Structure 1
């Protein structure tokens, strides 16, 4: 089959590989759409802590089941599906509590022998395969995984009805976290970014206020002026220098900050503000089955507009162009999907 591989940093190729074997408990999915994630770009740059070139990349997917193992009972050939792209050991205390994202032996596509989703077909254990409505567009189905990240972040933040929320970074993850915050009941949502087109999408998805912070030194005060005071919760979806302390200055006493972005450089932290005002800063990594179920249900409800997030769909033969586009911000990209249809 054809597969998209990051052969070395900044070098993407389409290559021929053998189909992955199918075990009794596994499902083979004909890939229709696979998204380029921010973490895939980290791998593209050679910076990802786990996905190292050469690697068949991708973990966001929507497709159709074309083969099932002998022990599979819940999904069938012909089902339209997406995948929660992680699998735990099933035996540790975290797995037994449903916290697969905490498992020390957690597996994910593009790590070890598990091929990524940017291939003509993708194999996954049945228990991480989720059936989508038959009429759902694959562009929307491919958003299930990144939306689950946003759902998980909102749950970690404990966002309540009527709260004021700031989302720092309006890339695809920030946008979908924003949408999840809106669904959780946040009534005032401010989004920040350095690109106006990202902020336009934030408004479409429910942001009540936006600020382009490019070349602005006083944007934190401007943000608070917009809503008449500090925020209840802050979601960090960009790993920019100084962002932790900016978030601390945005959030109210006793408020909570959730870090979603991947950080590759050290950040300073105003510990006096964190401690003296009893603010909380919480890490956020991936999702649980509960988050993925909620994400699929939200997509099925029709309340997420895929066109506000998906800006480009490219054939797999143009995958290199897609990675370059996202990395260099060419042609105003948000979510770029690689199509195998």
Structure 2
């Protein structure tokens, strides 16, 4: 019997490396050999216990790899064979609830663990105890059932760039939720990986100007390679809203996309949105911190539309197209690589933003 190395969060702030039997697959399943898995701030929130109690859990929802094994029916239906490069969406739709039937599988009822759902997110809320226990990307292999949504990746997309497919999908969904269209002025708050990718996605959607807002000049400077036309440092500026207005020729943004995951940034997003514009809130706070708006002044009297953008559903197709076109230096966002055995070091770097980290990935096959 073969075994696979897995990282397991056994309890809050406790990490183990385990070797567990590689699962057998059925006719509708496939086994993914994981080549890259991104370390996300959400993974840190999970480890710290802010997202439920899924322990023990194999984390990791930003994974890509190649088909290691595939069942007969899966091969026929999916048109895949061993060795093909694929991305698997991090949410497993139940396919039967009201929301899945409407195509809104990012809010699948079975994923809502607070209200009795079993959990359907790879690496977030499907614990190791659920058979076969290979539900996270911090592993040499990952189990992919017939209900999973699988996308083929072009072999020309290098692994480091491919590792960004899930955050790029999140970014593409933000742009779609904001209904960014030709000629729009867009502000993106949060110059992390998702924010930089959202800037690129907004440009791809036809945005006229994109302004990146954040608190670190080093991160803001990276925006030039991802379609950003101007920047605002909201930490050093005495009037960030006014500075944005100046950057956009005397007006506020048609669409503001917030990816920072900070309460103040979400308030700022609404205030940077023009009258009748749209603010997209996509950053997870990782806590129960309240977000307080002035209902009349900030929202009602300016007719500002506030929408959420949760997860990556419906964004993979656009993201994969962008990766294949290679118009932006996606792989350069990956600044740190760690083997599975050094996951504790990797988590520490990400948690404390050490060594200029932008995007850290684990490399299970190296």
Residue of structure 2 in register with 1:321 after alignment: 345
Q: Which of 251, 271, 286 matches 2:311? A: 286
Q: Are 1:85 and 2:90 counterparts?
A: yes
Contact 2:187 2:212 in 1 (8 A): yes
Residue of structure 2 in register with 1:25 after alignment: 28
SS at 1:242's partner residue?
Answer: helix
Contact 1:43 1:53 in 2 (8 A): no
User: Structure 1, residues 166-205: CA drift from partner, whole Å, max 9, x if none?
Assistant: 1110111111111111110112111122222221222211
Residue of structure 2 in register with 1:208 after alignment: 229
User: Residue 242 of structure 1: CA displacement?
Assistant: 2.3
Number of aligned positions between the proteins:
339
Contact 1:92 1:103 in 2 (8 A): yes
Report the Cα distance in structure 2 between the residues aligned to 1:292 and 1:311, rounded to whole angstroms.
23
Q: 1:194 to 1:13 in 2, by over 3 A?
A: farther
User: Residue 335 of structure 1: CA displacement?
Assistant: 1.3
Q: 1:5 to 1:304 in 2, by over 3 A?
A: farther
Contact 1:310 1:336 in 2 (8 A): yes
Q: 1:91 to 1:336 in 2, by over 3 A?
A: same
TM-score of the superposed pair, with normalisation by structure 1: 0.94
Contact 1:8 1:54 in 2 (8 A): yes
Report the Cα distance in structure 1 between the residues aligned to 2:7 and 2:236, rounded to whole angstroms.
37
Residue of structure 2 in register with 1:35 after alignment: 38
Q: How does 1:1-341 map to 2 (within 5 A)?
A: 1-49=4-52, 52-72=54-74, 73=76, 74=78, 75-106=80-111, 107-110=120-123, 111-112=125-126, 113=130, 115-126=135-146, 127-228=148-249, 229-263=251-285, 264=287, 265-272=289-296, 273-288=298-313, 290-341=314-365
Q: 1:56 to 1:186 in 2, by over 3 A?
A: same
Report the Cα distance in structure 2 between the residues aligned to 1:175 and 1:11, rounded to whole angstroms.
31
User: Structure 1, residues 137-179: CA drift from partner, whole Å, max 9, x if none?
Assistant: 1111111111111111100000011111111101111111111
Contact 1:164 1:189 in 2 (8 A): yes
Say what the alpha-carbon RMSD is for the aligned residues.
1.7
Contact 1:251 1:257 in 2 (8 A): yes
Greater shift after overlay, 120-129 or 291-300? 120-129
TM-score of the superposed pair, with normalisation by structure 2: 0.88
Residue of structure 1 in register with 2:115 after alignment: none
SS at 2:21's partner residue?
Answer: coil
Q: 1:209 to 1:339 in 2, by over 3 A?
A: same
User: Residue 312 of structure 1: CA displacement?
Assistant: 1.1
User: Residue 286 of structure 1: CA displacement?
Assistant: 1.1
Name stretches of at least 5 consecutive residues in structure 2 with no aligned partner. 112-119
Report the Cα distance in structure 1 between the residues aligned to 2:145 and 2:318, rounded to whole angstroms.
20
Report the Cα distance in structure 1 between the residues aligned to 2:309 and 2:109, rounded to whole angstroms.
16
Residue of structure 1 in register with 2:116 after alignment: none
Report the Cα distance in structure 2 between the residues aligned to 1:11 and 1:171, rounded to whole angstroms.
26
